[in-house]
Amino acid sequence: AQSVSQHNHHVILSEAASLELGCNYSYGGTVNLFWYVQYPGQHLQLLLKYFSGDPLVKGIKGFEAEFIKSKFSFNLRKPSVQWSDTAEYFCAMIGGSQGNLIFGKGTKLSVKP
Partner 1 sequence: DADVTQTPRNRITKTGKRIMLECSQTKGHDRMYWYRQDPGLGLRLIYYSFDVKDINKGEISDGYSVSRQAQAKFSLSLESAIPNQTALYFCATSDRQGATDTQYFGPGTRLTVL
Nearer to partner 1, 18 or 110 (CB): 110
Nearer to partner 1, 49 or 77 (CB): 49
Closest among 48, 73, 67, 72 to 58, alpha carbons compared:
48
Enumerate binding residues for partner 1 (CB under 8 A). 9, 30, 32, 34, 36, 42-46, 49, 51, 90, 94, 96-106
Nearer to partner 1, 10 or 112 (CB): 10
Q: How far is the CB of 96 from partner 1 (least distance, A)?
A: 7
**Spatial separation of the C-alpha atoms in residues 56 and 35, rounded to whole Å:** 13
Nearer to partner 1, 5 or 17 (CB): 5
Q: How far is the CB of 16 from partner 1 (least distance, A)?
A: 29
**Spatial separation of the C-alpha atoms in residues 31 and 52, rounded to whole Å:** 9
Q: How far is the CB of 58 from partner 1 (least distance, A)?
A: 16
Is residue 74 within 8 Å of residue 50, measured between CB atoms? yes
Closest among 11, 17, 10, 12 to 81, alpha carbons compared:
17
